[in-house]
A and B are shown apart, each in its own frame.
Chain A
Amino acid sequence: MSPAVQKAIDAITGQFNRDRVLVAADREGGAYVMVEGVTLGAPFAQDDSWIGFHIPSTCPYADVYPHFVRPDLARLDGASLGEGISTGHAFPDQAALKTPGDMPARTAVQVSRRSNRKDTAGLETPLHKLLKVIQWLKTR
């Protein structure tokens, strides 16, 4: 893994409990990350979810996009999940892993939140992005 990707993972494991964070290397120095037991709750019917995402080797320049959550995600009010959230995905793609099987694929809901303009000082880290996505989900 590239030093920047490792640093990003260290920040994520520092924020969440280390044993809740699963990591599998990709083929280019990036990593697939899965954080278990992230609190959700209202407006969703589920109290928590895992959240998975890919940190490219070009971290911190590349966006971390998209994020994936549990496949049964549903709203308490029965409404559709809404714009930017789509069902019928799998995470991670085994062909992208350095060692297929390191992180078994799970069916997932995709959460699409792009950050097309990053600060030139590189302030939006993968941890910042993850926290933004969690916050965004909670305000749906």
Chain B
Amino acid sequence: MAQDAIDGPWSLTIPETLFETLQGHLFPGDGDEHGAVLVAGIHPLRSGCARLLARDLFLAEDGVDYVPGKRGYRMLRAEFVRRHILTCRDEQLVYLAIHNHGGSGSVAFSSDDLNSHERGYPALLDISRGNAVGALVFAHGAVAGDIWLPGGRRVALDRTEIIGRQRRVLRPAPRGSRAKGDPQYDRQTRMFGQAGQLILAGARVAIIGLGGVGSLVAEYLARLGVGAFVLIDPDRLDPTNIPRVVGSRRRDVWWGLSSPTAPAWVRRLALAHATRKVDIARRVITEANPSAHVDAIARNILEPSATADLLECDYIFLAADEMRARLLVNAIVHQYLIPGVQIGSKVSVDESGRLTDVFSVVRPLRPGINCLWCNQLINPGKLADEAKVDRERKGQRYVDDDEVIAPSVITLNGVGAAHACDDFLFFMTALVAPSGTLDFARYESRSRALSMSSPRVDPCCTECSSEVGCRLGHGATGPVLPTFAV
């Protein structure tokens, strides 16, 4: 979609680490004005809204890059502007000049600011060759933006979302809410307030994999009052799933016809007509919250049409085992600045059948902060295996046969699902404690031990860095997502 055709509100999303660096630069405690340039990708939504995605930040050095203005108080030096607008032109990114005002809670451009935009931004638009340019002004707890689109139309920034340990929303000025609360949520709104309930009702959440973990996530989120769901899983229910898939019923698998004692052809026919897992989750969600909107997509997440639905979400729960799904979700988290979490549980037994490892993991994924590729949690060998057809994979495997069916137990899934949903709740309602972390968590069921690990960050990572050609915040003009090419 052409940038000048976007007719809905514009927002800006900033990874928390970038925001904290910017805040430290703009508000060092001297009460003065400071400057910077933010370069951003763009993500047009189907609703007609647009998200600006903060990709990289360049701090203007006082007296060198940010100097006394000819008409206003201060200005960015021409050479500093030129360097970054040319980068934006070459990489199809949006150029955003930043400065700060005093005060807190609300902010607006001064007449000097707006006059300088009118003098300078038509020329910047010419240089940027089809990419928007604009300005942001920050105060404590408030951000305003003046975005110039190709063609000359101007839009005001609706809001800025900071994504990290929690989601914070900054606007040019406070916005009141007069929406009435739903009494059924009385007990939980006593914790996070009516404002929190409205945030949940306005959230659109994706769940990838509606098996043992994903079905529990669907139930928890529906009862919390999340307003919209994208459910993605190509599979139908199998009789062996019933002990773990929340909301499944024996008649979903034509019980009796699909049992091991039934003739093989009858069993095949029954399983071919078993209820899809996404439809079971839809049933669970709408029973808990009839007003929830549910898109049930019974396709592989790597099909481009399914991936497109993920890009419209505010949060992604990855509850599927496939490495390829991990690769794709990790890419979306960093390229489109959509937060998420990877959840799993594992039971390992040795050759004699003795239990060795029983654990659940919850790995929060945040743009520019937590990356599965940096942390060696996406196995290139398994990516290769998953791309093969079954017969090919079996034919090539002659050393380590890990195709035995792994044990799986609902209580282990419940540990991961509950913690991941809890993290989501506190993230969305911005109630995370100051000491809260984004560490990866591992719960050892047999010892009841909890271990946390701080994710490493590779500054040159193709997925979570802003190096040229890398994904962070690049949005629709960034690298191709690792989906099927059809």
Chain A positions within 8 Å of B, measured between CB atoms, are 1-5, 26, 28-30, 54, 56-58, 61-66, 86, 89-90, 92-93, 95-96, 110, 112, 114-118, 120-122
Q: Is the CB of A61 within 8 A of B387?
A: no
Partner of A54, one of B324, B376, B387, B399: B387
Q: Which residue of the partner chain, among B327, B378, B380, B485, contacts A29 with CB atoms under 8 Å?
A: B485
- What are the residues of chain A within 8 A of B384 when measuring CB–CB? 54, 56, 62-65
A112 to B384, CA, bound (A): 13
Known contacts being A29-B484, A61-B373, is A95 close to B381, with CB within 8 Å? no
Task: Closest A residue to B380 by CB, please name it.
Answer: A63
Give CA–CA (A112, B480) in the complex, Å: 29
The answer on a CB contact under 8 Å between B302 and A63 is no
> What would be 30 A-B contacts, judged by CB atoms less than 8 Å apart?
A2-B480, A2-B485, A3-B485, A28-B302, A28-B486, A29-B485, A56-B383, A56-B386, A56-B387, A57-B302, A57-B483, A58-B324, A58-B387, A58-B482, A62-B383, A63-B380, A63-B381, A64-B384, A65-B381, A89-B396, A90-B395, A93-B388, A93-B392, A95-B391, A95-B392, A115-B381, A117-B376, A120-B373, A120-B463, A121-B461
B460 beta carbon closer than 8 Å to chain A = yes
Is A61 a contact of B482 with CB atoms below 8 Å? Answer: yes
Chain B neighbourhood of A93, CB < 8 A:
388-389, 391-392, 395
Q: Which 6 A-B pairs give the minimum distances between C-beta atoms?
A: A29-B485, A56-B387, A62-B383, A2-B485, A63-B380, A93-B392
Nearest CB on A from B335, distance (A): 14
What are the residues of chain A within 8 A of B391 when measuring CB–CB?
A: 93, 95
Q: Is B458 an interface residue (CB 8 A)?
A: yes
Nearest chain-A residue to B393 (Cβ)?
A: A93
Listed in ascending order, the chain B residues whose CB lies under 8 Å from chain A are 302, 324, 327, 373-374, 376, 378-381, 383-384, 386-389, 391-392, 395-396, 398-399, 458, 460-463, 480, 482-486
Interchain CA distance A2-B302 in the complex, whole Å: 13
Q: What are the residues of chain A within 8 A of B483 when measuring CB–CB?
A: 29, 57
Bound Cα distance from A62 to B302, whole angstroms: 15
Please name 19 further chain A to chain B contacts, defined as beta carbons within 8 Å, in addition to the given A58-B327, A89-B395, A120-B462, sorted by A numbering. A3-B485, A28-B485, A29-B483, A29-B485, A29-B486, A54-B388, A57-B302, A57-B482, A58-B324, A61-B373, A61-B383, A62-B380, A62-B387, A92-B392, A93-B389, A93-B392, A116-B379, A117-B376, A120-B373
Residue of B380, B392, B399, B485 near A61 (CB, 8 A) is: B380
Chain B's nearest CB lies how many Å from the CB of A27?
A: 8
Q: Which residues of A sit under 8 angstroms from B381, Cβ to Cβ?
A: 63, 65, 114-116
Query: Contact: B373 with A57, CB < 8 Å?
Result: no
Chain A residues near B376 (CB-CB < 8 A) = 117
Docked pose: A81 CA to B380 CA in angstroms: 26
Known A-B contacts A57-B485, A120-B458, A121-B461; the reply to A3 vs B480 at CB < 8 A is: yes
A3 to B484, CA, bound (A): 11
Residues in A with CB closer than 8 Å to B463 are 120
Contacts of B302 in A (CB 8 A): 28, 57
Evaluate contact between A117 and B380: CB separation under 8 angstroms.
yes
Cβ–Cβ contact B485 & A1, under 8 A: yes
* A63 vs B374: C-alpha distance when bound (angstroms): 16
Cα(A7)–Cα(B364), bound, Å: 33
Considering the chains assembled together, what is the distance between the CA atoms of A112 and B395 in angstroms? 12
Most buried by B among A57, A86, A89, A115: A57
Q: How far does the alpha carbon of A87 sit from the alpha carbon of B302 in the complex, in Å?
A: 34
> B379: shortest Cβ distance to chain A, in Å?
6
**Chain B residues, Cβ within 8 Å of A26:** 387
**The residue from A4, A90, A116 contacting B380, defined by CB atoms under 8 A apart:** A116
| Bound Cα distance from A90 to B394, whole angstroms | 12
In the complex, the chain B residue whose C-beta lies closest to that of A84 is B399
Residues of chain A lying within 8 A (CB to CB) of residue B480: 2-4
